[in-house]
Chain A
């Protein structure tokens, strides 16, 4: 028997949702610990020390954001939240409280696995992400700050580089507008979303094969942006 790929804590009050998460995550080789309440989840997070937590934001006994805060007091484990559609504000609150990413209910299992994989990868190299990423024909080396596209060097401005670097540190995961604005322009610009629209457009024009239909620099409407790279082990 192989070792598991890691332990995942599922904090979710609906038994049917826990059931399908258990069977599908189990089939991917993860060990699953289930908590039916928020209170129980906060305790299980401490006693089982999982590699990742999946927290439903609609728990009856405790605000999902509260559990995230409690876990964040002592642990940097990746946290994915499950949220209802059209609740952008609660997603943003959860992300600002320290959650790493979200999946919107109803979701397909493919989407969940992609989020879990990205979050697990992030855990291995926290804060650094991948230094060399491949976006189709564009190769980005964040250490030397060089971008090569189709063999030719692409010049990025300092802000474009900072923005790309911030997204790359959370490769595969969503980064909120606020986080991007604060990290790139500073705390006084946390609400200046138009900066982001302008610079994301520039980045896409320089890096995306088809800027009109981006494949790597993705928009999470109302929440933030997500950089995905070509899968390379």
Chain B
């Protein structure tokens, strides 16, 4: 399906046969008429390769007419003395039709090939996705099945502390799995565009506080530093979604860095937006991975890191983009990684002042 208009092909037909005629005039005294006919044939071949069949046929007809009129004796008339030139005309027409037919089938094959490759790529992504999801969900399910069946069938033979331990592991794995399922659903919703933003004036420190509260257990071993500028304005965003961004970035830092290291959350005001950063002081990520970490189902290189689904950062970026911001990662000098995202600054409406005294 070429997007170019039809007349372009016919313009080429006219231009090519015209150019051949000029070339023919230059050749005539020194070259045989056969060679002039060859030049016209070349024009037919070129147009047949590049343009539509109609344009090719038009080129051959125009070439025949011009060749006949200007070069075949008697010149200046459409009559033909020698009957053999009729064969020349027939061949030109045949070449035009055959070559444009061939070209068309080659083009169609290429298009079919491209479609097949796209389908194969989609299929490859889909199966990688399924493999990843099923692995990440099966592990907690296996733990839950094992631990809970021990409790159900062998409970009386276990002592109190063992029972408690098994019950706790069912609880923890169930929570982990709930998290993972929620992330898959969230990613799907973000990708299908089925997400309407519910915008509201929101305080970033407030969101961060609820996130840090919810992650208290996971971040218990880390030293968390929170630095907000005193003039940090309210932002106009979907509170629940931006909370999710902070949650995923802080959770990511907690999972991938050793206890005892610092995790720093801070914000920097710029002219038209705010850059919010979650900086960790872990081992850092390889240079080539600063972009790849945002890909779906990307897992850190270090095998056995307490990974999730590899969706947290992809979700964070999708949410930030939904808010017309950007999310990226940077290697920090001296090791560690900074995950940053921007949120647009908008003019905050003023709240009415009130007398200070109660």
Contacts and interface: CB of A to CB of B under 8 A. Distances in A.
A120 interface: no
A154 B226 CA distance: 26
B240 interface: yes
B239 to A, nearest CB: 5
B200 A193 contact: yes
A14 B210 CA distance: 30
20 contacts: A88-B240, A155-B356, A157-B355, A157-B356, A157-B357, A158-B355, A192-B349, A193-B200, A195-B351, A197-B202, A197-B203, A197-B206, A212-B226, A212-B228, A213-B212, A213-B226, A221-B207, A221-B243, A222-B200, A222-B243
A7 interface: no
A158 B239 CA distance: 28
Interface string B214-236: 00000000000010100000100
A106 B178 contact: yes
B178 A194 contact: no
B240 A222 contact: yes
A161 B349 CA distance: 23
A207 B198 CA distance: 30
A158 B356 CA distance: 8
Contacts of A155: 356-358
Interface residues of B, number: 33
A214 interface: yes
A159 interface: yes
Contact of B358 (A85, A145, A193): A145
Interface of B: 171, 174-175, 178, 182, 186, 198, 200-203, 205-207, 209-210, 212-213, 226, 228, 234, 239-240, 243, 348-349, 351-352, 354-358
By size class, the interface of chain A is 20 to 34
Given A158-B358, A197-B201, A214-B209, 4 more contacts: A89-B198, A157-B356, A194-B234, A218-B213
Contacts, number: 76
Contact of B354 (A108, A158, A193, A222): A158
A156 B358 contact: yes
A70 B198 CA distance: 29
B171 A108 contact: yes
B234 A197 contact: yes
A167 B236 CA distance: 25
A199 B186 CA distance: 32
A33 interface: no
A219 B210 contact: yes
A200 B206 contact: yes
A85 B354 contact: no
A219 B209 contact: yes
Contacts of B228: 212
A152 to B, nearest CB: 15
A40 interface: no
A3 interface: no
Contacts of A156: 358
B351 A194 contact: yes
B201 A193 contact: yes
A156 B358 CA distance: 6
Contacts of A86: 182, 186, 240
B344 to A, nearest CB: 16
A194 B348 contact: yes
Given A85-B182, A212-B226, A221-B240, A159 B210 contact: no
Nearest to A201: B203
Contacts of B203: 197, 200-201
Contacts of B200: 193, 222
A157 to B, nearest CB: 5
B198 A88 contact: yes
Nearest to A85: B182
Contacts of B201: 193-194, 197
Contacts of A108: 171
A198 interface: yes
A114 B146 CA distance: 31
A159 B354 contact: yes
Contacts of B358: 145, 155-158, 161
Q: Lowest 7 A-B CB distances belong to which pairs?
A: A194-B201, A222-B240, A197-B203, A195-B351, A222-B239, A221-B243, A219-B206
B196 to A, nearest CB: 10
A6 B250 CA distance: 42
B205 A212 contact: yes
Most chain B CB neighbours (cut-off 10 Å) among A108, A157, A158, A194:
A194
